[in-house]
């Protein structure tokens, strides 16, 4: 059963990495809106379309502001999903992983919902909770280096 739990956690971790990449990619589409807004502000004559006057400058600023907000929120969410995947691989921060699974269920419909549900199913198993708790007890004090975050879990053989 422990081997199966480890495989499930590894698969979920990989799926979280993929989900983070997909989210970052689709959030980056708003770069087009930022570019269009910059073009509206800097050279409004190009946006007139041959008939009538150029659009008001406020429209350009709205494109820039809304596009920037979409990118900021999307990239932040991508980083949070990536960190959850990393914590799943390291079997650390059980509560954070549970919270991010719940957020994924609500925010990223339908792919995030599927990923969040499967993550919740795995994380709520008693054997997986014990793995996280055992790993928490083995962890050194919080004053350790941040390089441990990128190394991953120590494998005992």
In a domain, 155, yes or no: no
Rg (the chain; Cα; Å): 22
Residue 55 confidence (pLDDT) above 70: yes
Q: Which residues have a Cβ under 8 Å from the Cβ of 95 and sit 6 or more positions away?
A: none
In a domain, 49, yes or no: no
What's the pLDDT score for residue 94? 96
What's the pLDDT score for residue 44? 82
Whether the Cβ atoms of residue 63 and residue 36 lie closer than 8 Å to each other: yes
In a domain, 150, yes or no: no
In a domain, 83, yes or no: yes
Over the chain, what is the mean pLDDT?
Answer: 89
Residue pLDDT, tens place only, 57-68: 899 999 999 999
Helix/strand/coil for 155: coil
Q: Of residues 117 and 46, which shows the higher confidence score?
A: 117
Containing structural domain, residue 122: 2-44+56-136
In a domain, 101, yes or no: yes
Report CA-CA distances (Å) from 87 to 13, 31, 70, 123, 148.
8, 30, 26, 12, 11
What's the pLDDT score for residue 76? 98
Helices (H), the chain: 2-27, 30-42, 57-90, 94-107, 111-123, 126-138, 148-151
What's the pLDDT score for residue 129? 95
CA dihedral 15, 19, 25, 30 (to 10 degrees): 180
Q: Tell me the pLDDT band of 152, cut-offs 50, 70 and 90.
A: low
What is the pTM (predicted TM-score) of this model? Answer: 0.82
Number of domains in the chain: 1
Residue pLDDT, tens place only, 80-93: 999 999 999 999 99
In a domain, 153, yes or no: no
Euclidean distance between CA atoms 156 and 134, whole angstroms: 13
In a domain, 143, yes or no: no
Mean pLDDT of 39-45: 88
Residue pLDDT, tens place only, 89-109: 999 999 999 999 999 999 999
What's the pLDDT score for residue 157? 47
What's the pLDDT score for residue 46? 78
Q: Of residues 70 and 154, which shows the higher confidence score?
A: 70
Euclidean distance between CA atoms 36 and 67, whole angstroms: 10
């Amino acid at each position: 059963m422990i081997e199966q739990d480890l495989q499930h956690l590894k698969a979920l971790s990989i799926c979280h990495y993929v989900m983070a990449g997909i989210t970052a990619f689709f959030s980056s589409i708003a770069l087009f809106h930022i570019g269009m807004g910059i073009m509206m502000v800097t050279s409004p004559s190009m946006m007139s379309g041959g008939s009538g006057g150029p659009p008001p400058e406020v429209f350009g600023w709205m494109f820039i502001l809304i596009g920037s907000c979409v990118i900021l929120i999307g990239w932040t969410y991508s980083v949070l999903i990536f960190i959850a995947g990393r914590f799943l691989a390291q079997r650390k921060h059980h509560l954070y992983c549970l919270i991010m699974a719940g957020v994924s269920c609500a925010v990223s419909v339908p792919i995030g919902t599927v990923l969040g549900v499967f993550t919740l199913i795995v994380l709520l198993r008693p054997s997986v909770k014990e793995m996280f708790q055992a790993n928490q007890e083995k962890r050194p004090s919080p004053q350790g280096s941040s390089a441990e975050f990128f190394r991953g879990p120590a494998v005992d053989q």
